[in-house]
Amino acid sequence: MVTDGAGAGAAMASWSTFSVAVVTVFFLLILPCFSRAQTLSFPFRQPETCGHNQYFDISALSCVRCGANQRRDARGTSCVCIPGFQMIANNGGPDIICKKCPENMKGVTKDGWNCISCPGGLTEEGKCHCPTGHILVERDVNGTVLSQAICKLCDENENSFTVANALGNRCIRCEPTFINTSRSCACSEPNILTGGLCFSSTGDFPPRVISTARYGELGMSFISEWFTKYLQSAAAACWVYANLTSCQALGNMCVMNMNSYDSATFDACRLFQFVFENTAGLRTVHSVSFWRQNLPWLFYGDQLGLAPQVLSATPLPTNFSFKGQTQNTKMKFVAASYDVRGNFIKWQTVEGGVLQLCPDTETRLNAAYSFGTTYQQNCEIPISKILTDFPTPVFYDVYLEYTDENQHQYIWAVPVLNLNLQHNKIFVNKDSNSDKWLLTRRIFLVDALSGRENDLGSQPRLVRIATQISLSIHLVPNTKNGNIYPPLITIAYRDIDIKDPNSQSVKISFSVTYEMNQGDAHVQTDIALGVLGGLAVLSSLLKTAGWKRRIGSPMIDLQTVMKFLVYYAGDLANVFFITTVGTGLYWLIFFKAQKSVSVLLPMPAQENHFVTYVACAFALKALQFLHKLISQITIDIFFIDWERPKGKVLKAVEGEGGVRSAIVPVSIWRTYFVANEWNEIQTVRKINPLFQVLTVLFLLEVVGFKNLALMDSSSSLSRSPPSYIAPYSRILRYAVSTILWLVIGIIQIVFFAVFYERFIEDKIRQFVDLCCMSNENLCSQRGLVPNTEGQTFQIAISDQMRQHYDRIHETLTRKNGPARLLSSSASTFEQSIKAYHTMNKFLGSFIDHVHKEMDYFIKDKLLLERILGVEFMEPMEKSIFYNDEGYSFSSVLYYGNEATLLIYDLLFFCVVDLACQNFILAAFLTYLQQEIFRFIRNTVGQKNLASKTLVDQRFLI
- Check pLDDT > 50 for residue 883: yes
Of these ranges, 314-323, 560-569, 766-775, the one predicted with the greatest mean pLDDT is 560-569
Mean pLDDT of the region 550-560: 81
DSSP annotation of 705 reads: G
Instruction: Render 135-158 in DSSP notation, one character per residue.
Output: EEEEE-TT-PEEEEEEEEEP--ST
- Check pLDDT > 60 for residue 10: no
Give the separation between CA 19 and CA 554, rounded to whole angstroms. Answer: 120
| Residue range 778-814, pLDDT digits in tens | 444 555 666 666 678 888 888 888 888 878 777 766 6
- Check pLDDT > 80 for residue 182: no
**Range with lowest mean pLDDT among 154-168, 366-380, 735-749:** 154-168
Residues 6+ away with beta carbon under 8 Å from 651: 659, 660, 661, 662
Question: What are the backbone dihedrals phi and psi of residue 825, each rounded to the nearest 5 degrees, phi first?
Answer: -75, 165
| Residue range 45-76, pLDDT digits in tens | 888 888 888 888 888 888 888 888 888 888 88
Query: What's residue 22's pLDDT?
Result: 40
CA distances from 724 to 13, 327, 347, 359, 580 (A): 65, 20, 26, 13, 29
- Check pLDDT > 90 for residue 734: yes
Q: Are 689 and 927 in contact (CB under 8 A)?
A: yes
| pLDDT confidence bin for 651, thresholds 50/70/90 | low
Give the separation between CA 91 and CA 408, rounded to whole angstroms. Answer: 61
β-strands 409-413, 395-403 pairing: antiparallel
Greater pLDDT, 135 or 345: 345
| Residue range 235-285, pLDDT digits in tens | 888 888 888 898 999 999 999 999 988 877 778 898 898 889 888 778 888
| pLDDT confidence bin for 652, thresholds 50/70/90 | low
CA distances from 733 to 729, 751, 912 (A): 6, 27, 12
Give the separation between CA 507 and CA 435, rounded to whole angstroms. Answer: 30
What is the 3-class SS of 613-643, one letter each residue? HHHHHHHHHHHHHHHHHHHHHCCCCCCCCCC
Segments in 757-797 forming alpha helices (H): 763-773, 776-779
Report helix, strand or coil for 440: strand
| pLDDT confidence bin for 825, thresholds 50/70/90 | very low
Give the separation between CA 917 and CA 366, rounded to whole angstroms. Answer: 26
Query: What's residue 820's pLDDT?
Result: 43
- Check pLDDT > 50 for residue 23: no
| Residue range 315-359, pLDDT digits in tens | 988 889 888 777 888 999 999 999 999 999 999 999 999 999 999
- Check pLDDT > 50 for residue 821: no
Query: What's residue 147's pLDDT?
Result: 84
| Residue range 432-467, pLDDT digits in tens | 899 999 999 999 999 999 888 888 888 888 999 999
Residue type at 125 in one-letter notation: E
Residue 694 CB coordination number (10 Å): 14
Mean pLDDT of the chain: 83
Rg (alpha carbons) of the chain, rounded to whole number:
48
- Check pLDDT > 70 for residue 815: no
Mean pLDDT of the region 469-486: 92
Question: Above pLDDT 70, what percent of the chain?
Answer: 87
**Range with lowest mean pLDDT among 279-293, 556-570, 723-737:** 279-293
Query: What's residue 703's pLDDT?
Result: 95
| Residue range 898-941, pLDDT digits in tens | 999 999 999 999 999 999 999 999 999 999 999 999 999 999 99
Query: What's residue 691's pLDDT?
Result: 96
Question: What are the backbone dihedrals phi and psi of residue 148, each rounded to the nearest 5 degrees, phi first?
Answer: -135, 130
